[in-house]
Amino acid sequence: VCRQVWLTRYFETA
């Protein structure tokens, strides 16, 4: 779940 949240935030920075 932490990785999913991290990924979502990563993609939101684009």
Partner 1 sequence: MLEARLPSAVTLKKIIDAVKELVQDANFDCNDSGIALQAMDSSHVALVALLMRAEGFDPYRCDRNIALGINFATLAKVMKCAGNDDNLTIKAGEDADVLSLMFESTNSDRISEFDIKLMDVDADHLGIPETDYSATIKMPSAEFQRICRDLSVMSETVTIEAVKDAVKFIASGDTGSGSITVKPNQAVDKKDMEVTVTLQEPVKLAFSLKYLNHFAKASTLAGSVTLSLSDDVPLMI
Taking the CA atoms of 11, 13, 7 and 2 in sequence, report the sign of the dihedral they define: negative
User: Count of alpha carbons within 13 Å of 2, Cβ hemisphere only?
Assistant: 0
Min CB(5)–partner 1 separation in Å:
8
Min CB(9)–partner 1 separation in Å:
10
Binding site for partner 1 (CB under 8 A): 3-4, 7-8, 10-14
Min CB(2)–partner 1 separation in Å:
11
